[in-house]
Structure 1
């Protein structure tokens, strides 16, 4: 056995997932998972850091340590629940918390250099857990000319590719990305961020229902899609761009939605919710329908539990079977955490973790930085 732990918090910022996996050259076997919510004060701080604010460096330095402490809490909780000690774990793979993602440069800076920024100090994680940490996966891909995202396709290929099967793996977190697997040939992997996943739905639900998300899409299912609004949202230039491409809260956010809404007469909030759910489903489905000979679609991430979204996605993919990754023996909510455990394994075994056809990097490279516990 070779135990690794993957810890991450996605763009939805709904807390930290820690996943224990047994990883060898032959197979990756997920074993257990746990979750730790961000304290409200830290969550508020992270939301501030997703936009320009005064004293950003001071706020980021504070959040960097607090995020790391929460990550370490999740790891230690998982160890306790599984009756394991730090010595049982080969390494932690830490994604960190993304607070900025400008792979093509910040729009406010002329000729600026692209960057991505994840916080969650790996030294603090190593110190608080007593386990070696592999972190900072995205910046190596950026350094080689890539988008730094999505990074899960290499793991998707290792875990889900099957001979003779043309599959798409759809990850619906705050944002949605697809991985296209044509059999087991790694040279045929493609993928990109399709656009918003849950980010707009969560923000709109918080604003109008004072709830962090629309459980199962129940609220959205009570609304009617406003087709003119949907068509206006779909006309955003991002959706017509070809990959490699990635996006984040810096582009698709509540302000973006409200700017579009300002051009319309008042629309019932529940109908807006139905419309932005349709936006997520349509942009994913359009990306898949543009591909040749795809017959299987497996969904992971929080979006897999939004029944209204899954139903609409299934309806918009009439020639494709749609199912959660449970059908491939990996629970949807575990996939990304296992992916970063796998990336830690890949670092230790010098296996490239990026897919240049997905990120646009010059070449495949080993991703991450190693922080020893001692």
Structure 2
């Protein structure tokens, strides 16, 4: 790696790893940060989860027997997949482990209960450091929760760095397992004017339903949803959830939006066409996001989508339609138009958060999470 006396000590190559609520696998990115310049992506990789690991992680979403042992085993298996992803990034970028400053790894959320003072992302960062011989930065959310925050979303500070505009208010919408938005007022930096919060389910229920009925892990291209029609009474029942009316800061996850929640909502409707349910769930994602934009960012000039749901045209159409109906007639575009492909955004954000930790700089936005103040996020596991 090149060195310069003018460089920030935290400058260099970082890896970012993200395995989200959808439980499909690990997105990884290798990126070089140099102060005063846009981040340079050197390589990306995706490593899927074997069926057994996905099932183990899914089972840990709910209370069960022998959880400590099962969590520890799943965490080690997860770290092994993270290591595979890191080795693929090393190969693709043609770099040695010694050239990587640190790996920023989110871990897999199995509980998110900030109202009880904790959030739990399973991981074995010590094992990952051992397997890669690279410093690992992990456990980003706990410090924000300890400071009274939600611990989520953490990406708005990164969004403000790379997606802000001097001329227009923008909304960045992440459509992962859960949807969240970042509101970037014109000219805003990482300051009190930036807001962000979770909106509701994105792919988590869509994936659950398509797996149940088609045996596929996700609804590729929204094709299953496109075969159906939105069931209005079901949509009204789905929207009858207190979380949707809560004021930010707020965050959510599988603790609320899960198969049991969906089945309880479906219970009063008898037999529905599965494609109609899928269409309604896609619309639920679009409508719940649009309502939050109407409430909190009606002056925005564009919405930029990222995450897996950005590849589902049924979600994007529902969002655009609901925005127009609510009087916010703005286009829903891809973050690709801002220079970052949708599948890079979250892993890039955790590489950035790792860099901030190494730099001993805060990674949270108190106006987003509700924490008592700015905090340095993450715990470092040396190589």
Same fold? TM cut 0.5: yes
Under a length normalisation based on structure 1, what TM-score does the superposition of the two structures give? Answer: 0.96
Q: How many Å separate the matches in 2 of 1:143 and 1:332?
A: 31
Deviation at 1:314, TM superposition (A): 2.0
Q: Is the 8 A contact 2:43 2:92 kept in 1?
A: no
Q: Deviations over 1:307-344 (max 9, x none)?
A: 12112222222321210100001000010000000001
Match of 1:97 in 2: 108
Q: How many Å separate the matches in 2 of 1:367 and 1:355?
A: 11
Q: Deviations over 1:192-236 (max 9, x none)?
A: 100001000000000011111111111101101110110111111
Match of 2:308 in 1: 302
Q: How many Å separate the matches in 2 of 1:357 and 1:293?
A: 19
Deviation at 1:248, TM superposition (A): 0.5
Q: How many Å separate the matches in 1 of 2:203 and 2:263?
A: 16
Deviation at 1:135, TM superposition (A): 0.8
Match of 2:299 in 1: 293
Match of 2:222 in 1: 217
- Find out whether 1:44 has 2:55 as its counterpart: yes
Q: Is the 8 A contact 2:336 2:342 kept in 1?
A: yes
Q: Is the 8 A contact 1:30 1:330 kept in 2?
A: no
Pick aligned residue for 1:130 from 126, 129, 133: 133
Pick aligned residue for 1:85 from 96, 103, 115: 96
Q: How many Å separate the matches in 1 of 2:43 and 2:317?
A: 28
Residues 169-188 of structure 1 mapped to structure 2, 5 A cutoff: 169-183=172-186, 184-185=188-189, 186-188=191-193
- Find out whether 1:325 has 2:335 as its counterpart: yes
Q: How many Å separate the matches in 2 of 1:204 and 1:40?
A: 17
- Find out whether 1:229 has 2:234 as its counterpart: yes
- Find out whether 1:25 has 2:35 as its counterpart: yes
Q: How many Å separate the matches in 2 of 1:5 and 1:17?
A: 10
2:271 is paired with a residue whose SS is: coil
- Find out whether 1:240 has 2:245 as its counterpart: yes
Residues 84-163 of structure 1 mapped to structure 2, 5 A cutoff: 84-105=95-116, 114-163=117-166
Q: How many Å separate the matches in 2 of 1:311 and 1:25?
A: 38
Deviation at 1:175, TM superposition (A): 0.3
Q: Deviations over 1:8-38 (max 9, x none)?
A: 1000011011101111222322232001111
RMSD, aligned CA? 1.0
Q: Is the 8 A contact 1:225 1:271 kept in 2?
A: yes
- How many residues align? The count is 365
1:13 is paired with a residue whose SS is: coil
Point out 4+ residue stretches in structure 1 off by more than 3 angstroms: none
Deviation at 1:77, TM superposition (A): 1.3
Pick aligned residue for 2:352 from 342, 346, 361: 342
2:151 is paired with a residue whose SS is: coil
Q: Deviations over 1:15-65 (max 9, x none)?
A: 011101111222322232001111211111111111111100010111111
Q: Is the 8 A contact 2:353 2:363 kept in 1?
A: yes
Q: How many Å separate the matches in 1 of 2:104 and 2:174?
A: 19
- Find out whether 1:257 has 2:267 as its counterpart: no
Residues 351-366 of structure 1 mapped to structure 2, 5 A cutoff: 351-366=361-376
1:11 is paired with a residue whose SS is: coil
Q: How many Å separate the matches in 2 of 1:29 and 1:298?
A: 20
- Find out whether 1:199 has 2:204 as its counterpart: yes
Q: How many Å separate the matches in 1 of 2:360 and 2:161?
A: 15
Unpaired runs of 5+ residues, structure 2, are 3-11
Match of 1:280 in 2: 285
Match of 1:111 in 2: none
Q: Is the 8 A contact 1:71 1:120 kept in 2?
A: no
Match of 1:110 in 2: none
Match of 1:57 in 2: 68
